[in-house]
Amino acid sequence: MSQEDIILVNNNFSLQAASLWNKIPQTKQQLILNNVYCVQCRVAVTMVNVSGFVEESSLVLKGSCGVCGENVARVIEEIN
């Protein structure tokens, strides 16, 4: 396991969210986290301080914009 694997899932993920997140290939996880739209920056940014939980069977990621610190979120509906 590389160091990057460890960064993505942390104590801010619920158990359910972590198990869903872990089913996503690492390359796709990074694509997801590196392409989060920030309303403040008006571009896709990297989400930092990520926390995850499950809402209505979707994985919801919440965090901060890596550029300006604005709250950003990403809902992932399709997880196989």
Report, in Å, the least distance between residue 66 CB and Zn ion: 8
Note the residue count of the chain: 80
Q: Which of residues 17-76 bind Zn ion (CB under 5 A)?
A: 38, 40-41, 65, 67-68, 70
Closest residue by Cα to residue 61 from 1, 9, 4, 6: 9
Neighbours of 49 (CB within 10 A): 14
Asked whether the beta carbons of 18 and 79 are under 8 A apart, the reply is: no
Q: How far apart are CA 39 and CA 36, in angstroms?
A: 10
Is the Cβ of residue 18 or residue 33 nearer to Zn ion in the bound state? 33
Is the Cβ of residue 17 or residue 38 nearer to Zn ion in the bound state? 38
Report, in Å, the least distance between residue 5 CB and Zn ion: 26
Is the Cβ of residue 17 or residue 36 nearer to Zn ion in the bound state? 36
Number of chain positions touching Zn ion (CB under 5 A): 7
Radius of gyration of the chain (CA): 12
Binding positions for Zn ion, rule: CB under 5 A: 38, 40-41, 65, 67-68, 70
